[in-house]
Amino acid sequence: MKIWVFGLYGIVSTTAMTGAKAIEKGKAPKTGLVTELPEFSEEINKTIPFKFKFGGHEIRQLDKNGYEATLYHWNLNRHFDREFLDAVKDDLSEIRAKKGTALNCGSAMEDLGEIDYLEKNEKLTLSDIVDAIEKDIKEFADEDTVAVNVASTEPVIKYDKQYHDRLNDFEKLIKENKKELITASSLYAYVALKNGIPYINFTPSSGASLPALKELAEKNKVPHAGNDGKTGETLAKTTIVPMFKYRNLKVLGWMGYNILGDLDGVVLNHADNKESKIISKDGVLEKILGYSPFTITEINYFPSLQDNKTAFDFIHYEGFMGRKMKFYFIWDGIDAILAAPLVIDLARFILYAKKKGESGVVKELAFFFKSPMDTDVYNTHEQYQLLVEWFNRLKEK
Ligand code: NAD
């Protein structure tokens, strides 16, 4: 299968590419891949063999190839054994990003260093940008292609009912060149869905979550899913919170303090870009518990941590006879190592969905997301159950 990646030279993307290619060559284990669990692996490998071709859009390091972009992150983070990178050097060297759009991606983008994007120095209209993105994707895509957004987190989109609710109006927005009302991730999602390409939004950015784009997916019978990969603190949280619920223990307050380095940390250190992430992390408690305890959610940049992310969580809760007690945990993860296998899993699951005739939001993929679309199921255990049941249903088709 082919995967078109928005944010191709980021650390999540380059780690996914390295891992996928290393596994393909039999050099790396399949640990961390949900699709390789016994519940899924036989059927998935029969339908979608473990063989990937990558391409995508970028706004940084466009003079580099996929190997050089991966090496950049590896030199900073040493996040996997060098032997894997050496084993796939030739495959990654063949990958070259196309120039994407940075439309309304926020003040943080300038901090990423020399960035180069379609609308820079040129008077391109939205229609021109859409055409350019579309040309790149069409040149790459075949029947077995999906698109995945792992570009930097954007500021929250200025939601406008008049243009975002219906497909006709969204297309009017493009024609009328209303640049202030659209972000890069939603333009990318538009082009993917318009061309029948299943789309995954691994970020909290708007992507395909605008009603107009959901309408487009339904109209073109394309499956899509998002938003924001559930890989670290939120994964632990949505797995632990049900324990309090099942035992009728009352959560009084939950503090989550996250520190991280690397490019993602630089971006999330900007208030406008950070807001999307906090909304995404914060919502889960109420969804699972049915009430909203007091919360503090903080994300801060901590340069020397690089791609390691540490989350300190403190939970204050009440038990029998109103007795107050405390629970603490520390999550110490390597972000890209947690996220990369999910990119591969999601790409395979969404292509599987397409092959089985699914379209619109695939809410059964909620298991993978912090802010799953069109569902109220946030409990990881329930989400996993739904995923397995959905997969078994499709298998029978
Ligand atoms: P990163 O900064 O290493 O990579 C992002 C890449 O996107 C960069 O190479 C950047 O140049 C590129 N980019 C930015 N705007 C773009 C645009 N408009 N078009 C094309 N490319 C663009 O970040 P990362 O750690 O790889 O994370 C990627 C995304 O995944 C972030 O939005 C992050 O919040 C999200 N995410 C990551 C995790 C995780 O790592 N565990 C979990 C959930 C969500």
Least confident of 130-139, 263-272, 336-345, 384-393: 263-272
Q: 394, 365, 67: which is closest to 227 by C-alpha?
A: 365
Query: Whole-model pTM?
Result: 0.94
Closest of 133, 119, 124, 117 to residue 194, by C-alpha: 133
* Percentage of the residues of the chain whose pLDDT score is greater than 90: 81
Residue 113: what pLDDT? 73
Name which of 45-54, 101-110, 137-146, 166-175 the model is least confident about: 101-110
Q: Is the pLDDT of residue 117 over 70?
A: yes
DSSP state letter for 284: H
Which has the minimum average pLDDT: 40-54, 305-319, 353-367? 305-319
Q: How far is the CA of 337 from the centre of ligand 1 (A)?
A: 14
Query: What is the distance in A from the centroid of ligand 1 to the CA of 151?
Result: 4
Buried b (16+ CB within 10 A) or exposed e, 180-207: ebbbbbbbbbbbbbbeebbbbbbbbbbb
Name the burial class of residue 381, with classes exposed (0-12), middle (13-18) and buried (19+) by CB atoms within 10 angstroms of its CB: middle
CATH level 2 (architecture), domain 2-229+337-395: 3-Layer(aba) Sandwich (3.40)
- pLDDT at position 266: 77
Confidence of residue 250 (pLDDT cuts 50, 70, 90): very high
User: What is the C-alpha end-to-end distance of the chain, expressed in Å?
Assistant: 21
For residue 119, name the pLDDT band (cuts at 50, 70, 90). confident
Give me the pLDDT at residue 104, please.
82
Q: Is the pLDDT of residue 195 over 90?
A: yes
Question: Would you place residue 369 in the very low, low, confident or very high pLDDT band (cuts 50, 70, 90)?
Answer: very high
> Domain limits of the chain?
2-229+337-395, 233-333
Task: Please state the length of the chain.
Answer: 397
pLDDT of 283 > 80? The answer is no
Distance 150 CA to ligand 1 centre (A): 5
Residue of 17, 76, 150, 179 to test ligand 1 pocket, by largest number of atoms within 8 Å of CB: 150
Answer whether residue 112 shows pLDDT above 80.
no
Q: How far is CA 19 from CA 38, 127, 138, 141, in A?
A: 20, 36, 26, 22
Domain 233-333 - what CATH class?
alpha beta
Distance of alpha carbon 392 from alpha carbon 189, whole angstroms:
28
Closest CA to 279 of 217, 241, 228, 338: 228
Confidence class of residue 291 from pLDDT cuts 50, 70 and 90? very high
Q: Which residues line ligand 1 (CB under 6 A)?
A: 6-7, 9-12, 57-60, 100-102, 105, 112, 150-153, 184, 202-203, 228-229, 231-232, 263-264, 335-336, 338-339
* Residue 234 or residue 219, greater confidence: 219
Q: What is the pLDDT of residues 310-332, one digit of tens each?
A: 999 999 999 999 999 999 999 99
Helix (H) or strand (E) holding 327: strand 324-334
Ligand 1 centroid – CA 100 distance (Å): 13
CA–CA separation, 234 and 200 (whole Å) = 19
Alpha-carbon distance 332 to 369, whole Å?
19
Only one residue has tokens 């519940």, namely 39
Report whether pLDDT(107) > 90.
no
Q: CA–CA separation, 218 vs 211, rounded Å?
A: 11
Say if residue 359 is exposed, middle or buried (CB neighbours under 10 Å; 0-12, 13-18, 19+): middle
Cα 7 from Cα 11, distance rounded (Å): 9
Q: What is the 3-state secondary structure (H, E, C) of 354-390?
A: HHCCCCEECHHHHHHECCCCCCCCCCHHHHHHHHHHH
- Least confident range from 59-73, 210-224, 278-292: namely 278-292
- The confidence band for 306, taking pLDDT boundaries of 50, 70 and 90, is confident
**Mean pLDDT of the 153-182 span:** 94
DSSP letter for 34, please.
Answer: G
Distance (Å, whole) CA 51 – CA 21: 8
Identify which of 9, 61, 152 to mutate to test ligand 1's pocket (most ligand atoms within 8 A of the CB): 152
pLDDT above 70 for 192: yes
pLDDT at 263 over 80: no
pLDDT at residue 111, as a whole number: 72
- pLDDT at residue 260 in the model: 87
pLDDT confidence band for 67 (50 / 70 / 90) = very high
Separation in Å, CA 364 to CA 46, 80, 373: 21, 31, 10
Alpha carbon of 14 to ligand 1 centroid (Å): 11
pLDDT greater than 70 at residue 121: no
pLDDT at residue 109, rounded to an integer:
74
The predicted pLDDT at position 115 comes to 85
